[in-house]
Amino acid sequence: MSDVTLPVVDLDVFLSASPDSDAFTNECKKAADALIRYGALLLHDSRVSEEDNNTFLDLIEDYFAQPEELLKQDERPELGYQVGVTLENTEKPKCAVDEPCLKVIARLDPAERPLDITAHSPDPKCRFFWKMSEKPPYETQYPSLNAPNVVPKAESIRERWTPIMEKWGTSMKAAVENLAEMAAIGLGLPRETFKEAGRYGPHLLAPTASDLVKYGKKDTILAGFHTDLNFLTIHGRSRYPGLNIWARNTGKRIPVKFPPAGRYLLVQAGKQLEHLSGGLIKAGYHEVVVNDATLQAIERRKVENPDRPLIRISSTFFWHLSSDYDLAPIPALQERAHALKADAINLGKVDLDEEAVYEPMKVGQQVQNELRHIALMA
């Protein structure tokens, strides 16, 4: 396992420094380079409140501690589970059956591979999707991806739900949109390129829950090896470790570690960013598993908070491009991607991915294609 640590990008510099300053330019370039090299970075943002994250985690723990019959009332399978709750053993890890993905795993050093997902049935995780989107001023071609939110039925949850979800979701959305601006500048594009492309995206605050009483045994896969289908994914601090990511071209598994304190968020590149950059930035592979650090956190939590549910919540936000946006590689970025690949071959390095083809399509079509792969849409 790698001892690599992810680069830390400081959003405070972007928000406070003059756009003409070296500090501003260098921080934007650092963000773009981190996404190219690692597909992920840690983002420091002083606006983000640890207290808001804890309030959010408490709410989601309480929600998923409810009986299954109450949770089922919040399911919307007819909408591809794109709002409301998705219960455990519904979503399949795409890589369990995806040929290119299985080849990526096969090419990794055995010591750096994810836990085996070839015999892995759907993930034992639950999820809630809460839209954080702006209604487009036009008729979207993809209404099921832009459906209204579901508010939980249970009285004890219902009253707290919307204000807490909106407050934390707004913090995450602001941070990731600013990072999208930084990445655009760092890649030599106009500042608004990505942010405008995602203005009407069906963004999702998407807390994921794993019952550690049922699934707290070492080497249990909570979320099998996969990439995210959206543009950028941003996470707050979880109470339980277990997220591993793989940096582009290194083939090394990196356990994600937040600094012990402070206002940090984790950002990962998704498939929409890969598509738009022509493969210059690759969607990052990752998994969530129960490991020794998870077990230690479980024991600590039992002692320090004996009355709280033992549920691992990931504080996750999926930032999307607008469903009706035309998704095709930006020529300047695609040229850089080809040059990077040629350099890697010249240096004798092996790119973990084969040459991908990024066909032009609407973002909504790309999302629907991916949802079918993971068994959330027929």
pLDDT at 89: 77
* Least confident span in 44-53, 60-69, 101-110, 210-219: 101-110
pLDDT for res 105: 85
Q: Tens digits of per-residue pLDDT, 293-338?
A: 999 999 999 999 999 999 999 999 999 999 999 999 999 999 999 8
Burial class (CB in 10 A: 0-12, 13-18, 19+), 334: middle
pLDDT tens digit string along 128-171?
999 999 988 899 898 877 788 999 988 889 999 999 999 999 99
State pLDDT tens for residues 268-292.
999 999 999 999 999 989 999 999 9
Q: Tell me which residue of 170, 361, 210 sits closest to 271, measured CA to CA.
A: 361
Q: Are 172 and 244 in contact (CB under 8 A)?
A: no
* 61 — pLDDT class (breaks 50, 70, 90): very high
pLDDT for position 353: 53
Residue 249 Rama label (left phi>0; alpha psi -120 to 50; beta): left
**pLDDT at residue 306 in the model:** 97
The predicted model gives 217-244 an average pLDDT of 94
Cα 266 from Cα 280, distance rounded (Å): 20
- Residue 1's pLDDT is 47
**What confidence score (pLDDT) does residue 368 get?**
86
Average pLDDT over residues 344-358: 63
> Using alpha carbons only, what angle is made at residue 284 by residues 283 and 286, rounded to the nearest 5 degrees?
140
Q: Which pLDDT value is given to residue 346?
A: 58
pLDDT band at 118 (very low <50, low <70, confident <90, very high): low
Could you tell me the pLDDT band of residue 96, with boundaries at 50, 70 and 90? low
Q: What is the DSSP string of 302-319?
A: HHH-TTS--EEEE-EEEE
Q: Is 279 left (phi over 0), alpha (psi -120 to 50) or beta?
A: left
Q: Across all residues in the chain, what is the average pLDDT?
A: 90
Residue type present at position 5 = T
- Rounded to a whole number of angstroms, the distance between the first and last alpha carbons of the chain is 38
pLDDT at 143: 82
What the block records as the tokens of 21 is: 């300053």
**Pairing assessment for the beta strands 40-44 and 8-10 based on DSSP bridges:** parallel
